[in-house]
Amino acid sequence: MAKKRQITDIESEFKQSKEFEILTDFEKSEVADVFETIADTTSDDDYSDYTKWDADFIVALVFSLFDQLGNSTAQDATRAIVIYDILKAVLRFLASKNKLQIPLFELNQLFNLIDSELSLNSFQRIREPNYQDPALPGWRRYVANDITNYMGEWIDAYVESSDWAKRPKGVTEDFLSSLMFSMTEYVYNIYRKTPKTWTKTALNGVMENEFITNMDLEDEDYRLIVPAMSAFIDFVAENGWINAQKAANYKRYLAAGEEKMIEASHDDTKAGPAKLVYKEMERQGVDIDDDEEVEKFIQNLNENGGIDSLLPDDEPNKARNFTDGELAAILTDKATLESFSQAVDPDFETNFLGDHHLVELNNKKWSIKQAKAVHLQGIKDGIKMWLGRDRDKYELPAGIDVVSLVGTVAELEDTLYSQHLQTPKEWTPATWREFGQWARDNQARGRNKEATKLFTSVIRIQADNKRISPQKANQLLFAMRGEDNNIISLDDARKKK
């Protein structure tokens, strides 16, 4: 009988991984506690073997953990989210080793869905962002907790004061709390500014972006944002929590960004994952307070294409039915290709920017600009490979669909940049030899054969697009396969697949 793989078996290996290194704000004892909690929760014979975990089980596991802990107090909510944050790192580690029934990029999509639902609940705790700009001060849990706590105290004081009766018509406690906690979180996570140091750039940036992509508001609600926040800021200043000049500046900044925010709110293409999910739940009549309904909704959504299926015009499905003329238009028109690329990118929330990466290598530094450029190029390469599949231009793994292909190609190119600081035109045989060996060591033989098809096509498309020469492509192909001979034509390499 095959030995069952228990989650506690990989604890030591996990603590040596890049996923563990990212958990800098958690104590080792917290990580150990999470392993014990997961082991207890999955002790049933049917689910104790982590290699059998699929998307449905992971959704059920997350919600069962939240159900067990409850959220009746702030301490309960904090504990639940700590466990969830660590669980995500553990599952990403397992997926990176191909030890789950779901690949890493699909797992990240699943987390986007779960995060979107959890963000609808009343957990007032700032979650650490996936990406942290190295040019900004470090993100600190104690700062995030502190600003959340005093913002909550300010809101409570305002609601209980006589000034609350003078608030703008239509402003409710829930509405104000949602605005202020959201602004506090986004400004700290993106700009590393606290409510006592907000800037015009930070406030207007959140108003024109995160308030649009992540908040589901009607037009009249968007028009209430500036009056509601301005009245609240007056109250905060009157109590001496920020000075009068700073309050005046904040109100001026808010007023300056109001018109662009309202204009952006009318653009449906700017909806982010949380907003897309919320609108679809609302359309289907899902009760967001009913965990069973929400869990079923997420499972069904994941089975039917995930968040991508909620996009206008459902671009991924349309890709299968393009005529030759439409294919030519997409491939030759830059604007169309850019739009199509964004529509089929599975990584809505740019999780790739938060993956572990080198800071510097051989006097070359990692940069967010280059990381984004590499990711977008990977998306485009995946699309071109998909569009060329029926013309025998690129051989793809059996049964792969456009979203899976695009996600895999982008993730591959992201990985080679983050781990080697190399863009496709800078790839070296040494890099591909190491990557090919890793794939052979970590995948079953059948899966490795399919992966080799994909890797070959990824290298071929670089030569086809003249990012590398045919001779260099030959060298990369042999290195990827672990072979020494590097004198072969690219056409021969294609025949050798």
Highest average pLDDT, of 94-98, 296-300, 395-399, comes from 94-98
Q: Is the pTM of this model over 0.75?
A: no
Helix ranges restricted to H, 126-172: 141-160
Given a contact cutoff of 8 angstroms between Cβ atoms, the answer to whether 122 and 71 are in contact is yes
Give just the sign of the alpha carbon dihedral 316, 318, 321, 322. negative
pLDDT of the residue at 342: 61
Neighbours of 362 (CB within 10 A): 7
DSSP 356-416: ---SEETTEE--HHHHHHHHHHHHHHHHHHHHTGGGTSS---TT--HHHHHHHHHHHHHHH
Given a contact cutoff of 8 angstroms between Cβ atoms, the answer to whether 207 and 254 are in contact is yes
pLDDT of the residue at 180: 94
The band of 170, judged by pLDDT with boundaries at 50, 70 and 90, is very high
pLDDT of the residue at 315: 45
CA atoms within 13 A on the CB side of 238: 12
Q: Residue 283: is its pLDDT beyond 80?
A: no
The band of 30, judged by pLDDT with boundaries at 50, 70 and 90, is confident
Q: Residue 94: is its pLDDT beyond 90?
A: yes
**What CATH fold (topology level) applies to the domain 141-270?**
Globin-like (1.10.490)
Q: How does pLDDT run across 453-490, given as a tens digit for each residue?
A: 889 999 999 999 899 998 999 999 999 988 765 444 44
